[in-house]
Amino acid sequence: MRERNIVCSTLVITRTNPFMSKAVKKIVIVGGGTAGWLTAAIVAAQHKTDDNNGLQIVLVESSDIPTVGVGEGTWPTMKNTLQQIGLKESEVFARCHAGFKQGGKFVDWVHGNGDFYYHPFTVPLGYGRIDLAPYVDKIENYAVESNFQHRVCEAGLAPRSMAEAEYKGQCNYAYHLDAGEFAEVLKEHCKNNLNVTQVIGTVDKVNLTDDGAITSITLKSNEQIDADLFVDCTGFASLLLGQALDVPFISADKVLFNDSALALHMPYEKATSPIASHTIATGQSAGWIWDIGLTHRRGVGHVYSSQYLSDDEAEANLRRYLGPMSDDIPVRKISFKSGHRAQVWKKNCVAVGMAAGFVEPLEATAIMLVEISARFIADNIPPDTSLTAIIEKRFNQQMAYRWSRIIDFLKLHYMLTKRPEPYWQAHTQADSIPASLKEDLALWKFRGPITADFDAAIELFPAASYQYVLYGMGFTPDFSRQPHLYNDHVNAHKIIQRNQQLTQQLLQTLPPHREYIERWLSTQSMR
Mean pLDDT over residues 477-488, rounded? 94
How far is it, in rounded angstroms, from Cα 459 to Cα 340? Answer: 18
How far is it, in rounded angstroms, from Cα 100 to Cα 273? Answer: 15
Model pLDDT for residues 84-115, shown as the tens digit of each residue? 999 999 999 999 999 999 999 999 999 999 99
Q: With beta carbons less than 8 A apart as the criterion, state whether 377 and 45 touch.
A: no
Q: What is the pLDDT of residue 3?
A: 42
**Which band of pLDDT confidence, cut at 50, 70 and 90, is reported for residue 13?**
low
How far is it, in rounded angstroms, from Cα 425 to Cα 128? Answer: 35
How far is it, in rounded angstroms, from Cα 22 to Cα 381? Answer: 12
Q: With beta carbons less than 8 A apart as the criterion, state whether 278 and 101 touch.
A: yes
Q: With beta carbons less than 8 A apart as the criterion, state whether 102 and 153 touch.
A: yes
**Which band of pLDDT confidence, cut at 50, 70 and 90, is reported for residue 458?**
confident
**Which band of pLDDT confidence, cut at 50, 70 and 90, is reported for residue 1?**
very low
Model pLDDT for residues 313-366, shown as the tens digit of each residue? 999 999 999 999 999 999 999 999 999 999 999 999 999 999 999 999 999 999
- Sorted by sequence, the CB contacts under 8 Å of residue 336 that are 6+ apart come out as 236, 259, 260, 261, 358, 360
What residues are paired with 510 via a beta bridge? none
**Which band of pLDDT confidence, cut at 50, 70 and 90, is reported for residue 457?**
confident
Q: What is the pLDDT of residue 17?
A: 45
How far is it, in rounded angstroms, from Cα 466 to Cα 136? Answer: 17
Model pLDDT for residues 293-315, shown as the tens digit of each residue? 999 999 999 999 999 999 999 99
β-pairing, 349-351 vs 229-232, is parallel
**Torsion-angle region of 205 (φ positive above 0: left; ψ -120 to 50: alpha; else: beta):** beta
Mean pLDDT over residues 427-447, rounded? 97
Cα 287–Cα 416–Cα 128 angle in degrees, nearest 5? 115
Chain mean pLDDT for the chain: 93
Indicate the pTM of the whole model.
0.94
Q: What is the pLDDT of residue 67?
A: 61
Q: What is the pLDDT of residue 527?
A: 53
Model pLDDT for residues 109-154, shown as the tens digit of each residue? 999 999 999 999 999 999 989 999 999 999 999 999 999 999 999 9
Model pLDDT for residues 234-258, shown as the tens digit of each residue? 999 999 999 999 999 999 999 999 9
Q: With beta carbons less than 8 A apart as the criterion, state whether 125 and 147 touch.
A: yes
Q: How far is CA 182 from the centre of its chain?
A: 14
How far is it, in rounded angstroms, from Cα 247 to Cα 345? Answer: 9
Mean pLDDT over residues 50-67, rounded? 78
Residue 307, SS3? coil
